[in-house]
Chain A
């Protein structure tokens, strides 16, 4: 299973989990597996058309999946998927 890293702004939707193991042969499958386990993440990751929201970037092993094959990008077991929504997170 791939490792999915959850950013701070989404952790309220994953019961505070920072890393989730999720099954799937593609980036889309892995993310759908995350949203099935944590339904609150669904609206933040996917738009109504089932595609990635444009304010969310997803990286496979540190590369933006949009420059790979998008949601169809093949995922191997040892891969890391990072979800990164736009964050204007405070100057503190």
Chain B
């Protein structure tokens, strides 16, 4: 039987509960909001303005993505759109098709919300130069203005401005990552220039962090570069890494790897980790509590005499470029929340065979670190394992 839109909408509104914007505002103001508020409008509408504290699930992706915003079928979910119509239809879908038991639609939508002068998140204002610079990102629906804003507001810490750190820093800067921290206490050496493309003949002898900062600033003035001309150790790690969204790790020694692992599990910061040797590379993303941590994979390090890579090794100059760009790709995916990050998988790259292999890696339910809650991990425990000092002295090299 044919029906017009108004009849259809009236029928739906009779069947789903509605909530007034004033009540929603009170919920969002509370310290522990009793409901999750979801904006079901299109990306462009969300990017123009939205209610602070709301999550975004466009109606076209409602069934696929609502589970991420509201994982519990019995939790209170409040949907809104521009005027309260699309959210009513979406609410009916959640109740009838997906089994949600406590869904409401906000009457009047964001239009009524604004009329009552409730707060909205002001859209990010791009300059003309930024619109041009990031235009190829803006054209991708998976990035768009909202995603580019996330990149510009993101903070990424690079451990090392060497072979891996160089390409990562360049491409994250080009992508518009707003704050890039770089930890390295080395100076640029002529032997670095075969692969560390962020440095140059002119900057030989300069601290790597300063050389990298100058190159990044020439590439993209939007980026705030924070330099740490030091080595990561147990005394400074918490102070340095706290507040960063993602850490890029090319650490070459076991003490620092365990220290970094434990500290990032405690602070719940994902680490995009790579290592390289000669013609081979490894890459994974350690995302605390979603995938395994480094200790799940290797609860103990090899004895010092079997530990590779404490000394200098040869490496094909392009290899850190390949692996670094794969790291940068994972960083962007994590910030943008797109794709399938390399969590729970270890990727191996053999440049000579031109072969990629993905291995499954799993959480260890008995892991000494990530089987516990973050606040149960004390500072004294960070990076502790037998023979801590027997290894290469806790050095982060470039």
Contact = CB atoms under 8 A, between A and B. Distances in A.
Contacts of B297: 57, 86
B277 A8 contact: yes
Contacts of B308: 9, 85, 87-89
**B contact patch SS:** loop
Interface stretch (B111-119, B143-151, B353-361, B367-375): B353-361
Given A87-B309, A88-B275, 14 more contacts: A9-B309, A57-B297, A63-B360, A82-B357, A84-B346, A85-B308, A88-B254, A88-B301, A88-B307, A89-B276, A90-B163, A91-B396, A92-B196, A92-B319
Interface of B: 160, 162-165, 195-196, 250-254, 257, 275-280, 282, 297-302, 306-309, 313, 315, 319-320, 346, 348, 350, 353, 357-362, 396-398
Interface in A1-20: 7-9, 18
Contact of B361 (A18, A64, A82): A64
Among A56, A59, A87, A91, the most chain B Cβ lie within 10 Å of the Cβ of A91
Contacts of A9: 277, 308-309
A84 B250 CA distance: 18
Contacts of A8: 277-280
Nearest to A43: B306
Interface of A: 7-9, 18, 43-44, 53-57, 59, 62-64, 67, 82, 84-92
24 contacts: A7-B280, A8-B280, A9-B277, A43-B306, A54-B299, A63-B359, A64-B359, A64-B361, A67-B362, A82-B359, A84-B359, A85-B302, A85-B306, A85-B308, A86-B254, A86-B297, A87-B282, A87-B308, A87-B309, A88-B301, A90-B309, A91-B251, A91-B396, A92-B276
B360 A91 contact: no
Nearest to A59: B359
Contacts of B362: 64, 67
Nearest to B161: A91
B253 A88 contact: yes
Contacts, number: 107
B302 A89 contact: no
A88 B358 contact: no
B276 A90 contact: yes
Given A54-B299, A59-B359, A62-B358, A89 B165 contact: no
A67 B346 CA distance: 16
Contacts of A43: 306
A63 B282 CA distance: 16
A57 B346 CA distance: 12
Nearest to A57: B297
B301 A91 contact: no
The 9 lowest CB-CB distance pairs between A and B, nearest first, are A92-B163, A91-B250, A89-B275, A86-B298, A89-B277, A9-B308, A90-B252, A55-B302, A89-B309
A89 B282 contact: yes
B375 to A, nearest CB: 28
Among B164, B353, B359, the most chain A Cβ lie within 10 Å of the Cβ of B359
Contacts of A44: 302, 306
Given A7-B280, A57-B298, A88 B359 contact: no
A56 B297 CA distance: 9
Contacts of A85: 302, 306, 308
B360 A92 contact: no
A64 B360 CA distance: 7
Contacts of A55: 298, 300-302
